[in-house]
Amino acid sequence: MNAIIIAAGMGTRLNPLTLSTPKPLIKIFGKPMIEKNIEYLLQEGIEEIVIVTGYMKDKFEYLRDKYKEVKLIYNPKYKEYNNIYSFYLARDFLKDSYILDGDIYLTRNIFKKEIDESKYFSKKINMFNNEWQLLLNNDGKIRKVEIGGSENYIMSGISFFTNKDCQKLKKIVEIYVKDEIKLKKYYWDHIIKENIHEFDIGIEKIQDNIIYEIDNLEELVELDKSYKDMLPINSFKNEIQKLKEILISNLKIDLKDIGNIQFIGGMTNKNYLVEINSKKYVLRKPGEGTESIINRYNEKNNLKLVSKINIDSNLYFFDEKSGIKLSEYINNSEMLTPSNAKYNLEEVAFILKKLHNSQIIFPNIFDPFKEMKRYEELINKEDGKFYEGYFELKKEVFKLKEVLKSFNIELVSCHNDTVPENFLKKGNNLFLIDWEYSGLNDPIWDLAAFSIESNLSDDEEKELLDYYFENSINSTIKIRMEIHKICQDFLWSIWTIFKEMNGVSFGEYGIKRLVSAQKRLEDLKLWINLTDME
């Protein structure tokens, strides 16, 4: 039995620390995180530890001198290729093997020598996240791996594979490295993701406070508070200070009125739970790059209009220039997720119908085709790269504009980003939050978005539409639903390219949306003839 540790990456998100120290060698509570894991492995009798290095490889040399069980492999292409190449270089060491990421910190030893089946050591995250999700069958085995989700166990950076499964991994990685695209884009876990049917893999459930993957400065500071004073620029402390200054300026309060400020997540924005005079609020700070894709004037105006129909929490202030807003925190509320969305279809249909029939008129139009062109222009401006097949699919997608036009659709005020996570449930009441993309649109766009983002089955989608249309669904409604799903897949795939150009990683999310658009388009062609549309 041995262990393989992948430690070749540059760790740029931990600058300035990683300008002088490889990420796995950063000390947490006085000890390099990789050393702590080496010692845990040795405690359990693991007799061989293979470390794949790359960035600042010489910094790892002392480990070979300090621990006779350590072997070092150098990956000279750590800048060019993803970690699948590091895995490939270690392939001949695969037997009964633990496989670890180099940036994992453990609060206790979870390794054991008596282990006889392949498994991922995994913690469960209930909130929506962009981690790799491990979907289990009734026997507790992994049936599918997806990127992004909620209420699932996730890949947490540590796994164990039996010799039998390791030999399968070796054969597959030797095939994958012949593909330049896979070398540049794939993690080694893609082997499992794409070939899960060839493996019988379980999970070892671990508590959230046992394993930490350190991705950025804020996460490091959250774990080891000593870095607050040691870092040359304390970004976390500065961030909190800036937020306090914003609150004092906008609310005309004193510093003593502000209590705890806690980061509570967000995909593209940063959301904070803020205590002011013992009351709780949510502060939204826009993420990088959003200023070029979101019109804050429209968002602020639309929020004021929406306040008239009481479907969102109360807004306390909104700064158009920065996009920062403060709103009421809804106590004892539960966020909808793809897992529980199907149990709330009647409530979702009701709140969307209330919005669409409200007679409030947003001053802006959300035109998905104009949005597509705008994202494309932004990407071209920065010399970004589009997914393979993008331009061919774009031509087909834009034919759908004429199909929609033929229906003479009346535009109404819409939310346009009805992912289940934007619905909060408190008792029997539902609230709809986050109006960044709001504008006039076909109301069916909101229904299609909720269906696709909640992974509704055909029967569940029909139930949603029956609630909304009071059992009066016709073929035109169905066609509009499918067209909007195609447009959403295509639009959000371009959105992903733009966001990743601004430093936000979404894994395979973008390419998956593009492939989904292609598949839905082929299915739609069985309904209507698009070939002659221009």
Can you give the residue range of the structural domain that contains 507?
Answer: 330-534
Q: What is the pLDDT of residues 127-184, one digit of tens each?
A: 777 789 999 999 999 999 998 878 899 999 999 999 999 999 999 999 999 999 899 8
Rounded CA-CA distance 468/353 in Å is 7
Give the global pTM: 0.60
Query: Is the pLDDT reported for residue 234 higher than 60?
Result: no
Rounded CA-CA distance 11/17 in Å is 9
The answer to the question of residue 352 being in a domain is yes
Query: Is the pLDDT reported for residue 296 higher than 60?
Result: yes
| Phi and psi, residue 432, nearest 5° | -115, 120
Rounded CA-CA distance 248/367 in Å is 38
Give me the number of domains the chain comprises: 3
Instruction: Identify whether residues 189 and 292 lie together within a single domain.
Output: no
Instruction: Identify whether residues 239 and 349 lie together within a single domain.
Output: no
Rounded CA-CA distance 5/22 in Å is 14
Rounded CA-CA distance 476/454 in Å is 22
Judging by DSSP bridges, how do beta strands 97-101 and 158-161 pair with one another?
A: antiparallel
Q: Which CATH number belongs to the domain containing residue 288 in this structure?
A: 3.30.200.20
Instruction: Lowest mean pLDDT of 154-158, 238-242, 417-421, name the range.
Output: 238-242
Band of residue 394 on the pLDDT scale cut at 50, 70, 90: very high
Q: What is the pLDDT of residue 280?
A: 92
Instruction: Identify whether residues 85 and 134 lie together within a single domain.
Output: yes
The answer to the question of residue 501 being in a domain is yes
> Where does a domain end: 326, 356, 373?
326
Q: What is the pLDDT of residue 279?
A: 92
Strand partners for 205: 122
Q: What is the pLDDT of residues 464-476, one digit of tens each?
A: 999 999 999 999 9
Q: What is the pLDDT of residue 533?
A: 42
The answer to the question of residue 229 being in a domain is no
Q: What is the pLDDT of residue 223?
A: 85
504 vs 233, higher pLDDT: 504
Whole-Å CA distances, 465 to 349, 420, 457: 8, 16, 12
Return the sign of the alpha-carbon dihedral for residues 24, 27, 32, 36.
negative
Q: What is the pLDDT of residue 28?
A: 92
16 half-sphere exposure, CB direction, 13 A CA radius = 7
- The mean per-residue pLDDT over the stretch 246-267 comes to 84
Instruction: Identify whether residues 261 and 274 lie together within a single domain.
Output: yes
Long-range CB contacts (within 8 A, 24+) of 382-386: 382/501, 384/497, 384/498, 384/501, 385/497, 386/494, 386/497
509 half-sphere exposure, CB direction, 13 A CA radius = 24
Rounded CA-CA distance 458/451 in Å is 9
Instruction: Identify whether residues 193 and 284 lie together within a single domain.
Output: no
Mean of the per-residue pLDDT values of the chain: 90
Query: Is the pLDDT reported for residue 230 higher than 60?
Result: no
Three-class SS of 332-396: CCEECCCCCHHHHHHHHHHHHHHHHCCCCCCCCECCHHHHHHHHHHHHHHCCCCCCCCHHHHHHH
Q: What is the pLDDT of residues 127-137, one digit of tens each?
A: 777 789 999 99
Instruction: Identify whether residues 219 and 239 lie together within a single domain.
Output: no
Rounded CA-CA distance 87/433 in Å is 43
Instruction: Identify whether residues 311 and 393 lie together within a single domain.
Output: no
Band of residue 229 on the pLDDT scale cut at 50, 70, 90: low
Which DSSP string corresponds to 183-243?
HHH--TTHHHHH-GGG---EEEE--TTTEEE--SHHHHHHH-TTHHHHSSS-HHHHHHHHH
Query: Is the pLDDT reported for residue 532 higher than 50?
Result: no
Band of residue 504 on the pLDDT scale cut at 50, 70, 90: low
Instruction: Identify whether residues 272 and 371 lie together within a single domain.
Output: no
Q: What is the pLDDT of residue 382?
A: 82
Rounded CA-CA distance 484/446 in Å is 9
Band of residue 534 on the pLDDT scale cut at 50, 70, 90: very low
Instruction: Identify whether residues 278 and 304 lie together within a single domain.
Output: yes
The answer to the question of residue 35 being in a domain is yes
Q: What is the pLDDT of residue 507?
A: 67
The answer to the question of residue 375 being in a domain is yes
Query: Is the pLDDT reported for residue 419 higher than 70?
Result: yes
The answer to the question of residue 141 being in a domain is yes
Query: Is the pLDDT reported for residue 503 higher than 90?
Result: no
In one letter, which amino acid is 22?
A: P
Instruction: Identify whether residues 19 and 108 lie together within a single domain.
Output: yes
Q: What is the pLDDT of residue 254?
A: 92
Query: Is the pLDDT reported for residue 39 higher than 80?
Result: yes
Q: Which CATH number belongs to the domain containing residue 382 in this structure?
A: 3.90.1200.10
> Which tokens in the block code for residue 493?
């795939």
Helix axes 368-381, 475-501, angle to 10 degrees: 20
The answer to the question of residue 472 being in a domain is yes
> Where does a domain end: 194, 223, 252?
223
Strand partners for 2: 97
> Where does a domain end: 326, 341, 362?
326
- Percent of the chain exceeding pLDDT 70 equals 95
- Do 13 and 217 form a contact (C-beta atoms < 8 A)? yes
Instruction: Identify whether residues 321 and 386 lie together within a single domain.
Output: no
Q: Which CATH number belongs to the domain containing residue 41 in this structure?
A: 3.90.550.10
The answer to the question of residue 177 being in a domain is yes
Rounded CA-CA distance 26/424 in Å is 39
Query: Is the pLDDT reported for residue 267 higher than 80?
Result: no
- Among 496, 488, 409, 506, smallest CA distance to 449 is for 488
Instruction: Identify whether residues 262 and 292 lie together within a single domain.
Output: yes
Residue 154's SS3 state is strand
Query: Is the pLDDT reported for residue 45 higher than 60?
Result: yes
> Which tokens in the block code for residue 230?
């040691």
Residue 244's SS3 state is helix
Band of residue 215 on the pLDDT scale cut at 50, 70, 90: confident
Tabulate helix, strand, coil % of the chain (nearest 5). 45, 20, 35
CB 464: neighbour CB atoms within 10 A?
A: 22
